[in-house]
Chain A
Amino acid sequence: MSLLFDNPELIRNARIQLRPGRMIAAAVICAIVSVTVWVSVLHASGDLSMDGLRGAGVVFALILYLQVGILLIGGGIFCLQSVHREKELNTFDYQRVTRLTSLELAAGKLFGAPILMYFVVLCLTPVSLAGAFAAHLPGLFVAEAYVILVLGSIAFHALMLLVSMLLGRSGQAVSMLLFLLLVGFTSIDFLDARSPWGVHRLSPFAAVDPFFNSHYSDWTDRFFGVRLDHAEVLIVLYVTFAAWFLLAVVRNLKRDSSEYEILPAAGLFGFVMYVNLLMLGFVSWGEINGTTIRQGADVLFDATATVPELIAMSWWSLCLLALILLRNREQVRRRSRRLAGGAANWWAALWPAPYIALGAAITGGGAVAFAAYHREPGNNWHVASYYVVFLVLWFSRDALYLQWMYLRRAKYPLGSAVLYLVIFYLCATILFSTFNFYDTARGAAFTAAFIPSAFFALNDRLWGPAMRVWMIPLFLQAAAALVFAWLQKRRLAEFVSEPADRAPSAEIAQSA
């Protein structure tokens, strides 16, 4: 079966959304909007035949802007509802019991849910192309703009489809708000905004930029110092992110929701590393240090100043990795039934620390290595190395704590675990600040055993006089991680012994 043109789910969406009456109404509205824009621009510029970014070129850019808004935001909202709404109506189970594969179902929803938006974009295209033609805009630029529009929308839609699949009974309004925030955030031109990143805006609204901004003649980003065409960067980002999101949708869409596993641990790890690679690659080094990049023999960056910044950037992705990797009670119960005693050994009790530790080591190590590449050798190397080891132990400790707490019998086990952690960090910060522990080397080292803030502020003044003292937080972190692993091991053992605790089943079960 063809994935698209003969896809029953796509056809179902088309039949519902593209009834003749609705299509005619949409086409008429698009025609009115097109004429209005055309007449307004003609009135304002007085001459449509002007080249470039004047006259008809503005018509093209305005319509393109409208198309991006409609397809990206409108389509995103439709995708957000696509699975969630079916679950609410109890029709999703009927789709799951058909012989449609997850890929066919996902493709049908990805292109079917926003099909009305695609139709509206199509209706607006003639006038935008007419504008581009009249303004003598280069064909390649126009084609590039539409590729960015379509691929970018698909990537965002794939993310919304994933969110829609994962949504519970509530959360749709919050998800919609987060989606709009994401669109807003990715619509910031990071290069213009003097942010730490040396990249232009990432949302499909970027498709309009080369036409609206004359200074975009050099529309390039810097990736590890190499100049790349922004359109090519966007296309690569859209394709790769859409692939990750679709992979997550496809492997879960027909599963029982209690068994959802967004990606296999290794796949998820790969995704987080990819995101970190992008963040590291697009970092604008001059912005991080508050200086500009200088060439020559001068020291541009100090690892102690730069590495924590980079680590902080990867912090969110590692948190996300930890939260997704955590096993819920159902998953542990299933593992216990499958592996018996093997589900409660020390290796199982360390979950998800190995992935978190490896992720922290790679991101921290990457940050150190990259910082070192940009500075003179010999300055504070050992401090930067300490960062990495500390980061590994700190993340492992908290991940093991969360996993242990998540396996409790509680109404909201993970939510309450996160809440306790936040309260712990908040109280510790207030106490340590009150007693000025951060001001001395020994005091700062002591606080690092509890919260990482002192570690982020670690510098020569605090490091040099008390290098040995700073080793104590490392050992304390490791000890705390082991305690949480031991607690988790005990909890896993309860799952393994669970069936034996219950009374035997009725022996009446028999053949009909």
Chain B
Amino acid sequence: MIHLDNVTKQYDLPSGKLGEIVAADRLTMDVPAGEVFGMVGPNGAGKTTTLKMICGLQSPTAGRITVNGIDVQKEPEKAQGHIGYLADFFSLYDDLKVWEYLDYFAHAYKMDPALIPSRLEEVIRLMNLESKRDELISGLSRGMKQRLGIGRAIIHNPPLLVLDEPAAGLDPKARVELKDLLKTLHADGKTIFITSHILADLEEICTSIAIMEKGRLLRAGRLEDVMREGQTVRRFRVKLAAEGFALAGWLAARPGLVEVAAEATGARFGFAGDDAELAALVRELVAAGAAVCGVEELAETFERLYSRVSSGEVM
């Protein structure tokens, strides 16, 4: 769906500051159709610039971007017909009514006029804004405005949604609603390219992920591959039914175990071996007199992986 080929964006800092920024440094990646692709990175990593280049709002200094096979620079209007875009900081036309706002964009995207009324009602229903249909936008809450913004992005039924920090500033309830909405849109076959600082949300909804910093991609791929790629050891927790066994010391003395840490009722450790080796280890532990009542694998969270990747712990 999206293809970036050696895309670079370089520009001078805004007036008042001296220097240059490489917001995107020879980015090359593919986002297949049907993915929910999350992009994370610190502020200033180049995420928004990348999104804007995909939407044809900014031109790359070098490189080529295609959306659905259409060159965004050569045929921006054609490519934009396939894209629904939501910016990070946005406002709507407060003096328009909800239906007027969607109607404006439906016509601006040059939808078939005969289809517009039914599509309007469909989107208003999908965004759960039926009761606000004839209200002025100025009277909507932040969450409703965000939903209306997404409604605008999907009004022309584009196959690709590009969302920049859609969850920013939303209360917990609105965030849950947003996640549900994105899952619904994904289930409808939309490809979603999303950036967010809320990593737990991304981990929940994304099928692919990219980590970006200083204009470069540090990691990109399917979520499970990225998670596995950064993981050199698996982490486990052993629980004991009774005290009296120096579990942490016993584990630390074993070759191949790392990051051993004692806990109240057991210990945690890192282990590079496979399941058979783990089984052998547990057998030895039981034989040594430990009252083992449980062994669980600790899942790597995306948040932790991101922290390790961005700090250079994992490259």
Contacts and interface: CB of A to CB of B under 8 A. Distances in A.
A330 interface: yes
Interface stretch (A10-18, A245-253, A442-450): A10-18
Given A94-B152, A409-B12, A506 B218 contact: yes
Interface stretch (A34-42, A72-80, A254-262, A280-288): A254-262
A182 B105 CA distance: 36
B69 interface: no
Interface in A473-509: 498-499, 502, 504-506, 508-509
Contacts of B92: 91
A15 to B, nearest CB: 5
Interface string B189-212: 000000000000000000010100
Given A16-B96, A97-B80, A330-B11, A259 B105 contact: no
B18 A99 contact: no
B61 to A, nearest CB: 6
A505 B216 contact: yes
A329 interface: yes
A58 B210 CA distance: 73
A99 B87 CA distance: 17
A512 B18 contact: no
Contact of B32 (A91, A99, A333, A512): A512
B32 A8 contact: no
A415 to B, nearest CB: 9
A16 B95 contact: yes
A512 B26 contact: no
Nearest to B17: A411
A81 to B, nearest CB: 14
B18 A410 contact: yes
A337 interface: yes
Contacts of A254: 76-77
Contacts of B59: 256, 258-259, 334
| Central interface residue in B89, B93, B100, by most chain A CB within 10 Å | B93
Contacts of A101: 77
Contact of B222 (A12, A91, A512): A512
B108 A99 contact: yes
Interface in B170-189: none
Contact of B55 (A6, A97, A498): A97
Nearest to B89: A90
A289 B96 CA distance: 60
B35 interface: yes
A412 B18 CA distance: 9
A100 B108 CA distance: 5
A291 interface: no
B19 A409 contact: yes
B219 interface: yes
Given A90-B91, A508-B217, A97 B15 contact: no
B120 interface: no
B107 A11 contact: yes
A342 to B, nearest CB: 15
Nearest to B88: A90
Contacts of A89: 91
B143 interface: no
Contacts of A411: 15-18
B278 to A, nearest CB: 30
B293 to A, nearest CB: 41
A9 interface: yes
Chain A residues touching B, range: 35 or more
A97 B108 CA distance: 9
A330 B12 contact: yes
A508 B220 CA distance: 8
A1 B112 CA distance: 11
A506 B11 CA distance: 20
Nearest to A17: B95
Contact of A337 (B19, B37, B62): B62
A504 B216 CA distance: 10
A505 B25 contact: yes
A217 interface: no
Nearest to B85: A97
Contacts of A412: 15
Given A510-B29, A512-B222, A93 B108 contact: no
A512 B210 contact: yes
Contacts of B100: 12, 15
B217 A512 contact: no
B27 to A, nearest CB: 6
Nearest to A259: B59
B57 A93 contact: yes
Given A93-B57, A509-B28, A511-B30, A98 B217 contact: no
B227 to A, nearest CB: 14
Interface string A404-422: 0000011110000000000
A136 interface: no
14 contacts: A12-B100, A16-B93, A16-B95, A90-B87, A90-B91, A91-B92, A94-B87, A98-B108, A256-B59, A258-B59, A330-B11, A330-B12, A506-B218, A511-B220
Interface of A: 1, 6, 8-9, 11-12, 15-16, 89-91, 93-101, 254, 256, 258-259, 329-330, 333-334, 337, 409-412, 498-499, 502, 504-506, 508-512
Given A93-B55, A330-B61, A506-B216, 20 more contacts: A8-B104, A8-B105, A90-B87, A90-B91, A93-B52, A94-B90, A97-B80, A99-B77, A99-B80, A99-B108, A254-B76, A258-B58, A259-B59, A499-B62, A504-B26, A505-B27, A505-B216, A508-B217, A512-B35, A512-B220
